[in-house]
Amino acid sequence: MKKLALLGSTGSIGTQALDVVRCIQKEGEHAVKVEALAAHSNIRLLEEQIREFKPQAVAVFDLEAASKLRAAVRDLNVKVYSGMEGLCALTELESVDIVLNSVVGMVGLKPTLTALEAKKQMALANKETLVAGGSLVMKTAKENGIEILPVDSEHSAIFQCLQGMYKKCDLNKIILTASGGPFFGKKAGELQHIRPADALKHPNWDMGAKVTIDSSTLMNKGLEFIEAKWLFDMEPDDIDVVVHRESIVHSLIEYKDHSVIAQLGVPDMRIPIQYALTYPRRFPSPVKQLNLADWQKLTFYAPDEETFTCFGACKRAIRRGGTLPAAVNGANEAAVALFLKEKIGWQDIGELVCHVADTFETAPVTSVEDVLEADRKARAYVLERCGESAR
43-77 pLDDT, tens digit per residue, is 999 999 999 999 999 999 999 999 999 999 999 99
29, pLDDT greater than 90: no
Q: What is the pLDDT of residue 27?
A: 78
Residues annotated in the binding site, as ranges? Answer: 10-13, 42, 126-128, 152-154, 179, 202, 208, 215, 220-221, 224
Q: What is the pLDDT of residue 248?
A: 97
What share of the chain in percent tops pLDDT 90? 89
pLDDT digits (tens, 9 = 90+) for 144-199: 999 999 999 999 999 999 998 888 899 999 999 999 999 999 999 999 999 999 99
The pLDDT of residue 166:
85
The set of long-range contacts for 192-196, using a CB threshold of 8 Å and a minimum separation of 24, is: 192/345, 192/347, 193/345, 194/345, 194/346, 194/347, 195/342, 195/346, 196/339, 196/340, 196/342
Query: Does 390 score more than 50 pLDDT?
Result: no
Cα(128)–Cα(106) distance, rounded to whole angstroms?
6
What is the radius of gyration, based on Cα positions, of the chain? 20
Residue numbers in the known binding site for 1-deoxy-D-xylulose 5-phosphate are 127, 153-154, 179, 202, 215, 220-221, 224
**pLDDT confidence of 391, banded at 50, 70, 90?**
very low
List, in order of start, the domains of the chain with CATH numbers: 2-151 (3.40.50.720), 166-266+289-309 (no CATH), 321-391 (1.10.1740.10)
Burial of 104 (0-12, 13-18, 19+ CB in 10 A): buried
pLDDT tens profile 269-318: 999 999 999 999 998 888 999 999 999 999 999 999 999 999 999 999 99
Q: What is the pLDDT of residues 204-247, one digit of tens each?
A: 766 778 989 999 999 999 999 999 999 999 999 999 999 999 99
Instruction: Tell me which H or E stretch contains 292.
Output: helix 292-295
Binding-site positions for Mn(2+) read 152, 154, 224
Lowest mean pLDDT among 41-50, 82-91, 290-299, 381-390: 381-390
Name the band, by pLDDT with cuts 50, 70 and 90, for residue 348.
Answer: very high
Of 120, 151, 114, which Cα lies nearest the Cα of 368? Answer: 114
Cis omega (within 30 of 0) on the bond before 272? no
Tell me what pLDDT residue 28 has: 76
CA gap 319, 20 in Å, rounded = 37
Q: What residues have CB less than 8 Å from 200, skipping those under 6 apart?
A: 209, 212, 213, 216
User: Per mean pLDDT, which range of 2-11, 20-29, 220-229 is the poorest?
Assistant: 20-29
> Across the strands, what pairs with 301?
243
- pLDDT classification of 388: cutoffs 50, 70, 90: low
Edge-to-edge strand list for the sheet holding 260-264: 239-243, 171-178, 249-255, 260-264
- pLDDT the model gives residue 206: 65
Res. 203 pLDDT band, cuts 50 70 90: confident
Which pLDDT score, from 0 to 100, does residue 17 have? 97
Q: Which residues are annotated as a binding site for NADPH?
A: 10-13, 42, 126, 128, 208
Q: Mean pLDDT in the chain?
A: 95
Distances (CA, A) of 10 to 47, 93, 114, 123, 163: 10, 20, 21, 17, 31
pLDDT at 185: 95
